Structure 1
Amino acid sequence: MDNGIFNILLEYLNIVFLVFSAVLFVLYFLMAYLATRNSIHYKHKNSFGDISKTMGSPLSPGITIIAPAFNEGLTIVENVRSLLSLQYVNYEVMVVNDGSKDDTLQKLIKAYHLERINKDIDPEIKSKPIRGIYKSNQRSFSKLTVVDKMNGGKSDALNAGIYLSENKYVGCIDVDCLIQPDALLHVVKSFYQHSEKRVIAVGGVIRVANSCKISGGTLEEIRLPKNWLARFQLLEYTRSFLLGRMAWARIDSLLIISGAFGFFDREIALAVGGYDTTTVGEDMEIIFRMRRHMHDIKAPYHVAYIPDPLCWTEVPEDIKIFMNQRDRWSRGNLETLFTHKDMFFNPKYGRLGMLSYPYWFFYEWLAPILEFLGCIAVIVFFYLGILNWDFFIAITATIYSFSIMFSFYAILWEVYSYNQYSKTREILTLMLFAVIEPIVFHPIVVWSSVRGNYKKLFKIRSGWGSQVRKGFAKA
């Protein structure tokens, strides 16, 4: 290749990379601004009034919490006990035993005095066959329903619960998550705070529970995770939930609600056919379809987001399990983006088509791939002796500094807004991890994403992978 053409190509690549980075910086500044405005607005709006009196009334809308369970025998009894102690009157806990091979069902039957009931089941339910439905013969456990079905995966179990529920709203959660006692009060309130629009879904912040003290299904003490990998994820979750998703919620363009804590208008969830059982990114995909449906019928709607710390979960502490999780997330992203590719820069879908989808395409899906290819290009250019050191050092230092600054802001905003980690040592520890994250944790995330995309693009079969948990610390 002619040296002149090669130099032009290099300059072109430098400009593309510079523009890509500059746009990212601007977007992240906007995210921080919008998230801050939204958090202040939320706290001001919810600083008065006692919602427990209104939402705790027997006249409050019904809600069903659907918790899929597969081989959860070790912790299922305690987890269900926690769900049955929520501060809300009109709710049901529906545990869907998804073909467990251990003693999950037997432990539930024994602990909660369950008996099989006769109930007509619609043969058109989009799930694997249901083997039985159980209710307790004791009044104290009247809110509990256990559904036993053939194994079909998490999405299939959630669909069974959505179809069997008779309440106006359904909550889809992970059975091993710790839900704060007043969580349903906040959730139902969010469904009714937009009188001019129909709220079709409500999501919330997911907090990291590793190393926290848990007693009887109650969070006794919040602690910083001891494990290095869990600490990095805590930092990542703080940025993502407290800034990223809060910002998208501010402009009503949120495209994902975490599968660990998501609540839906049952009628709309059924209208779009429930969860897609063919994808590993079902929590993102159902929001896409629900939003599309509301746009297609030209009905005003809203997807709400709660920044209060209402749900705590255990994140992976094993590097292999963590990489499998991120591998799966990247495959889910690609599947969803491909399925809804006609939304890309489509003005028919408003901000979703013109802003949310393009951002997700370029900066959530494509960015890790470009980073990986960029690293390879740097190595090749260095080997060939054509690396522009001044540009490389300048852009690397800028990106590194911006990354640390954004993480610092997320940490300090968390301290100001919710102050979950109030000890100076904990805050300084998180800041230290923010400094080393770009060179320790981020490369692992990028590689996991690239690996997931490679598997999906080249049709290498891969499922959910093992999600072994250590369990919460006891008080």
Structure 2
Amino acid sequence: MDNGVFNVILEYLNIVFLVFSGMLFTLYVLMAYFATRNSIHYKNKNSFGNITKTLGSPLAPGITIIAPAYNEGLTIVENVRSLLSLQYVNYEVMVVNDGSKDDTLQKLIDAYHLEKIDREIDPHIKSKPIRGIYKSTQRSFAKLTVVDKANGGKSDALNAGIFLSENKYVGCIDVDCLIVPEALLHVVKSFYQHSQKRVIAVGGVIRVANSCKISGGTLEEIRLPKNWLARFQLLEYTRSFLLGRMAWGRLDSLLIISGAFGFFDREIALAVGGYDTHTVGEDMEIIFRMRRYMHDRKEPYHVAYIPDPLCWTEVPESRKIFINQRDRWARGNLETLSTHKDMFFNPRYGRLGLLSYP
């Protein structure tokens, strides 16, 4: 190749990368600005008043925490014990045993003195067959409900919980996540902080628990992960949750609530048919459908985001598991965008179609 042609191509590529870098830098500066504004706004709103007394009242709205479990026999008892110790009065912990092949169900029965109850189950529930519903014979575990069903995957298990719940709000979490005791107080408060808009979903910051000291389902000491891959993910989670999602939340254009910690208005979640069991990106896809539902009905709504670290989870330390996880996330992202491609640059959906989707 002639040196002159090569130099022209090289110079062209340099210009392309310079423009791209400039645009990327500008984008992150804008996101940092909006994220900071949102954080300050949240801090000012929550700098007064004691939410413990108000939202700890029996008159506070009911909320069901749905935790799918598949072959979690090693840790299920401790995980459920942690969920039963949250600082909120009117809530239910619903563990959905998704056809586990180990002793998950038996350990729950033994540890929490569960007995099968008679309850009429709607045959039209959008999930695999439900084999039984269990409640504890002891009053101290009255908040616990265990649903045993045939295996259908996480989305299917969450759908069963949403349909069986009788509370106004539902929280969909990973059973192995550690939720801070005051998490539900902040979540329920977020549902009521907008008087002119209906809050249809609430998400929060997820922190990396690798190498942290956890005892009895309680976080005792925060530590930096020893594994380098986990450290990079810690940095990534901080950027994603405290910069990206805070900024999109400020613009009222947030398109995803993490599957590890997401809370929904049950009525709207049921109206859109619950989770899509045919995609691996169910946490993003349900937000798309709930937003579309509200847009199509021209009802004012909001997807709220809480900058407080309310949930801790362990991230992959193995490259193989990490690659599989990111492959699943990427495929779920592409599937969701493809399913809702008619929203792309569609002014009918406002910021959702003109800004956050593109």
Q: Normalised by the size of structure 2, how large is the TM-score?
A: 0.97
1:231-270 equivalences in 2 (<5 Å): 231-270=231-270
- The DSSP-based 3-state class of the residue aligned with 2:19 is helix
Q: Which residue of 2 aligns with 1:275?
A: 275
Cα offset, 1:16, TM superposition: 4.3
- The DSSP-based 3-state class of the residue aligned with 2:357 is helix
Distance in 2 between residues matched to 1:355 and 1:19, nearest whole Å: 20
Q: Which residue of 1 aligns with 2:57?
A: 57
- The DSSP-based 3-state class of the residue aligned with 1:49 is coil
Cα offset, 1:302, TM superposition: 0.2
Distance in 1 between residues matched to 2:8 and 2:100, nearest whole Å: 60
Distance in 2 between residues matched to 1:235 and 1:107, nearest whole Å: 36
Q: Which residue of 2 aligns with 1:227?
A: 227
- The DSSP-based 3-state class of the residue aligned with 1:78 is helix
Cα offset, 1:41, TM superposition: 1.3
1:364-375 equivalences in 2 (<5 Å): none
Cα offset, 1:215, TM superposition: 1.2
Q: Deviations over 1:429-452 (max 9, x none)?
A: xxxxxxxxxxxxxxxxxxxxxxxx
Cα offset, 1:187, TM superposition: 0.2
Q: Deviations over 1:94-113 (max 9, x none)?
A: 00000000000000000000
1:285-324 equivalences in 2 (<5 Å): 285-324=285-324
Distance in 2 between residues matched to 1:189 and 1:297, nearest whole Å: 25
Q: Which residue of 1 aligns with 2:69?
A: 69
Cα offset, 1:324, TM superposition: 0.6
Task: Report which stretch shifted further, 192-201 or 213-222.
Answer: 213-222
Cα offset, 1:121, TM superposition: 0.7
Distance 1:292-1:2 versus aligned 2 partners, 3 A rule:
farther
Distance in 2 between residues matched to 1:297 and 1:9, nearest whole Å: 51
Amino acid corresponding to residue 223 of structure 1 in structure 2 = R
Q: Which residue of 2 aligns with 1:176?
A: 176
Distance in 1 between residues matched to 2:11 and 2:292, nearest whole Å: 40
1:298-447 equivalences in 2 (<5 Å): 298-358=298-358
Distance in 2 between residues matched to 1:345 and 1:272, nearest whole Å: 23
- The DSSP-based 3-state class of the residue aligned with 1:262 is strand
Distance 1:7-1:126 versus aligned 2 partners, 3 A rule:
farther
Distance in 1 between residues matched to 2:3 and 2:356, nearest whole Å: 40
Distance in 2 between residues matched to 1:282 and 1:255, nearest whole Å: 12
Q: Deviations over 1:382-433 (max 9, x none)?
A: xxxxxxxxxxxxxxxxxxxxxxxxxxxxxxxxxxxxxxxxxxxxxxxxxxxx
Task: Report which stretch shifted further, 51-60 or 18-27.
Answer: 18-27
Cα offset, 1:43, TM superposition: 1.1
- The DSSP-based 3-state class of the residue aligned with 1:295 is helix
Cα offset, 1:135, TM superposition: 0.4
Q: Which residue of 1 aligns with 2:129?
A: 129
Runs (5+) with no aligned partner, structure 1? 359-475
Distance in 2 between residues matched to 1:316 and 1:310, nearest whole Å: 20
Distance in 1 between residues matched to 2:56 and 2:9, nearest whole Å: 65
1:153-164 equivalences in 2 (<5 Å): 153-164=153-164
Q: Which residue of 2 aligns with 1:86?
A: 86
Distance in 2 between residues matched to 1:342 and 1:26, nearest whole Å: 28
Distance in 1 between residues matched to 2:232 and 2:48, nearest whole Å: 35
Distance 1:286-1:5 versus aligned 2 partners, 3 A rule:
farther
Cα offset, 1:37, TM superposition: 1.1
Q: Deviations over 1:360-384 (max 9, x none)?
A: xxxxxxxxxxxxxxxxxxxxxxxxx
Q: Deviations over 1:169-215 (max 9, x none)?
A: 00000000000000000000000000100000000000000111111
Amino acid corresponding to residue 325 of structure 1 in structure 2 = Q
Distance in 1 between residues matched to 2:230 and 2:7, nearest whole Å: 44
Cα offset, 1:12, TM superposition: 5.7
Distance in 1 between residues matched to 2:274 and 2:23, nearest whole Å: 36
Amino acid corresponding to residue 160 of structure 1 in structure 2 = A
Distance 1:337-1:16 versus aligned 2 partners, 3 A rule:
farther
Q: When you count helix as a share of all residues, which structure comes out higher?
A: 1
Amino acid corresponding to residue 145 of structure 1 in structure 2 = T
Cα offset, 1:216, TM superposition: 1.0
- The DSSP-based 3-state class of the residue aligned with 1:264 is strand
Q: Deviations over 1:224-264 (max 9, x none)?
A: 11111111100110111011100110111111110000000
Cα offset, 1:7, TM superposition: 7.7
Cα offset, 1:23, TM superposition: 2.0
Amino acid corresponding to residue 302 of structure 2 in structure 1 = H
Distance 1:190-1:11 versus aligned 2 partners, 3 A rule:
same
Amino acid corresponding to residue 96 of structure 2 in structure 1 = V
Cα offset, 1:309, TM superposition: 1.0
- The DSSP-based 3-state class of the residue aligned with 1:303 is strand
Distance in 2 between residues matched to 1:347 and 1:17, nearest whole Å: 31
Q: Deviations over 1:139-173 (max 9, x none)?
A: 10000000000000000000000000000000000
> How many correspondences in the alignment?
358
Q: Which residue of 2 aligns with 1:41?
A: 41
Runs (5+) with no aligned partner, structure 2? none
1:198-237 equivalences in 2 (<5 Å): 198-237=198-237
Amino acid corresponding to residue 309 of structure 1 in structure 2 = P
Distance in 2 between residues matched to 1:353 and 1:11, nearest whole Å: 35
Distance in 1 between residues matched to 2:257 and 2:73, nearest whole Å: 27
Percent identity at matched positions?
A: 89
Q: Deviations over 1:271-310 (max 9, x none)?
A: 1110011111111111111111110110000000011111
- The DSSP-based 3-state class of the residue aligned with 2:67 is strand
Distance in 2 between residues matched to 1:300 and 1:36, nearest whole Å: 25
- The DSSP-based 3-state class of the residue aligned with 2:211 is coil
Q: Which residue of 2 aligns with 1:96?
A: 96
Cα offset, 1:25, TM superposition: 1.5
Q: Deviations over 1:344-371 (max 9, x none)?
A: 111111111111011xxxxxxxxxxxxx
Q: Which residue of 1 aligns with 2:30?
A: 30
Amino acid corresponding to residue 164 of structure 2 in structure 1 = L
Cα offset, 1:120, TM superposition: 0.8
Distance in 2 between residues matched to 1:338 and 1:24, nearest whole Å: 24
| Higher-Rg member (1/2) | 1
- The DSSP-based 3-state class of the residue aligned with 2:349 is helix
Q: Normalised by the size of structure 1, how large is the TM-score?
A: 0.73
- The DSSP-based 3-state class of the residue aligned with 1:302 is strand
